[in-house]
Structure 1
């Protein structure tokens, strides 16, 4: 036996019927906090800020790579 039943109700009415909590205020709070954090992070995506943050690390890594190549090319001169 197969029974089909269609119920028309809003999501709020369905949550209330099943006894589920209303999480909309929490979702709104989390979304506003997420928006604030994303806005703050967008400021760090400024090209000048990114280059100034990455450049010292990149240059240091390149210098270490050069030192490694030099040490392998000239094994007699080790410090």
Structure 2
């Protein structure tokens, strides 16, 4: 046996019915702060500086990957005297 109940209500009505607190003001304050910080950081970052930073990280990751591949390709005991 299946029972299906559809409840048509707004999020505010559901929150009130379930006894949950209204966090809309806190949510708005947090979103405003995230937007403010994001805009402040975007204004301080130059595209050229971002590209230099990203390309240096990419180069380091490539070097680390290549070193890992070299180590994986070297079998223990493959040196002299084996």
Q: TM-score range by the shorter chain?
A: 0.5 to 0.7
Which runs of structure 2 are paired with 1:1-79 in the superposition (5 Å)?
A: 1-47=1-47, 50=49
TM-score norm. by structure 1 comes to 0.55
Q: CA RMSD in A?
A: 2.2
State the Cα distance separating 1:47 from its structure 2 match: 4.2
- 5+ residue gaps, structure 1: 59-79
- 5+ residue gaps, structure 2: 57-82
The structure 1 segments of at least 4 consecutive aligned residues displaced by more than 4 Å after TM superposition are none
TM-score norm. by structure 2 comes to 0.53
Distance in 2 (alpha carbons) for counterparts of 1:47 and 1:11? 41
Larger Rg: 1
